[in-house]
């Protein structure tokens, strides 16, 4: 995808939810390989070839957690772009989805180690620094349109607009 002449790699992120003892939990995972290794992220990854965003989300959730979702179980949670001015090859745009996880327990994959977190106990310090700017709105059930610009160190947040 290209915006104003700048290229963005298209990815999907899917936030799965469940209820435990009246508390709402979200499935996040420690990334073990590839981009963002060592960070806690939602399940997701690149959209392959001519695959649709929903198709990619169903595939990535299955590959990374073993949880099989039907396409119509995914809810559109909006869009986000991350721009890395100091490293434009890392620019990414994600289609965001949410879904209820059902009862299948997540299984760790080579790529990610999934774990349930209470929505009021998100491990912010282990996540990308932009996560607190946009994930709370998504946890509230809002559909978002977010644009994040990263600092020159590719870690901090230079600006974050969340509509």
Applying CB under 6 A, the residues found at the interface with ligand 6U4 are 11, 13, 33-36, 41, 44-46, 82, 92, 94, 111, 128, 130-131
Residue 1 CB, nearest approach to ligand 6U4 (Å): 14
Q: Is the Cβ of residue 19 or residue 77 nearer to ligand 6U4 in the bound state?
A: 77
CA dihedral 143, 147, 152, 154 (to 10 degrees): 30
Partners of residue 30 on adjacent β-strands: 40, 113
Q: Is the Cβ of residue 23 or residue 38 nearer to ligand 6U4 in the bound state?
A: 38
Q: Is the Cβ of residue 23 or residue 33 nearer to ligand 6U4 in the bound state?
A: 33
Token code pair at residue 122: 């998100």
Tokens 């990610």 belong to residue:
112
Tokens 């100091």 belong to residue:
86
DSSP code at position 96? E
Q: Is the Cβ of residue 41 or residue 101 nearer to ligand 6U4 in the bound state?
A: 41
CA–centroid distance for 149 within its chain: 16
Residue 146 CB, nearest approach to ligand 6U4 (Å): 10
Say whether 40 sits in a helix, a strand or coil. strand
Helix (H) or strand (E) segment spanning residue 138:
helix 131-139
Residue nearest to ligand 6U4 (CB): 34
Q: Is the Cβ of residue 89 or residue 103 nearer to ligand 6U4 in the bound state?
A: 89
- Say if residue 63 is exposed, middle or buried (CB neighbours under 10 Å; 0-12, 13-18, 19+): middle
């Amino acid at each position: 995808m290209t915006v104003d002449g700048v290229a963005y790699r298209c990815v999907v992120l899917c936030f799965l939810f469940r209820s435990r003892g009246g508390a709402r939990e979200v499935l996040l995972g420690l990334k073990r390989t590839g981009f963002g290794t060592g960070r806690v992220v939602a399940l997701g990854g690149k959209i392959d070839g001519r695959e649709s965003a929903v198709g990619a989300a169903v595939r990535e959730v299955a590959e990374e957690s073993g949880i099989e979702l039907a396409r119509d179980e995914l809810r559109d949670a909006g869009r986000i772009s991350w721009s890395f001015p100091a490293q434009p090859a890392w620019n990414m745009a994600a289609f965001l989805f949410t879904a209820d996880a059902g009862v299948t327990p997540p299984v760790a994959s080579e790529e990610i180690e999934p774990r349930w977190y209470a929505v009021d106990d998100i491990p912010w310090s282990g996540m990308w620094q932009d996560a607190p700017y946009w994930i709370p709105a998504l946890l509230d059930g809002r559909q978002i349109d977010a644009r994040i610009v990263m600092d020159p160190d590719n870690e901090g947040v230079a600006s974050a607009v969340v509509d």
